[in-house]
Amino acid sequence: MKRGAILVNTARGECVDAAALLADTALSGIGLDVFAHEPFVDAGPLLAKGNVLLAPHSAGWHKDLGRALNDEVATQVNAWLKGLPLDGEV
């Protein structure tokens, strides 16, 4: 990344090499809400850089999330019981 860029990772913790972030001096900011190893317990060295924001992976939260998740689970279980294809099946 070019000097002065801001790195934000909200995808997968493994996408970013945390050791490389500690050594980096070119980034002007780092924002992470996912980590390769969770729970992330050794944030001290990264936070000591002063240009780092760490947050829990909760970007998808909203007030109706519990109901939406329950509805989706019920829909998927019903489809499975009926032998129907599941949404997002891999």
Q: What pLDDT, on a 0 to 100 scale, did the predictor assign at position 90?
A: 62
In terms of pTM, does the model score above 0.85? no
Is 14 a known active-site residue?
Answer: no
Q: What pLDDT, on a 0 to 100 scale, did the predictor assign at position 59?
A: 62
Each residue's pLDDT, cut to its tens digit, for the chain (90 residues) gives: 899 999 999 888 899 988 898 899 999 999 998 888 877 778 889 889 999 998 877 766 778 888 988 999 999 999 999 999 988 776
Catalytic residue selected from 3, 14, 37, 57:
57
Catalytic residue selected from 37, 38, 62, 89:
38
Secondary structure E strands in the chain: 6-9, 29-32, 52-54
- What CA–CA distance (Å, rounded) separates 78 from 8? 38
At position 36, the amino acid (one-letter code) is A
Catalytic residue selected from 12, 14, 37, 72:
12
Is 38 a known active-site residue?
Answer: yes
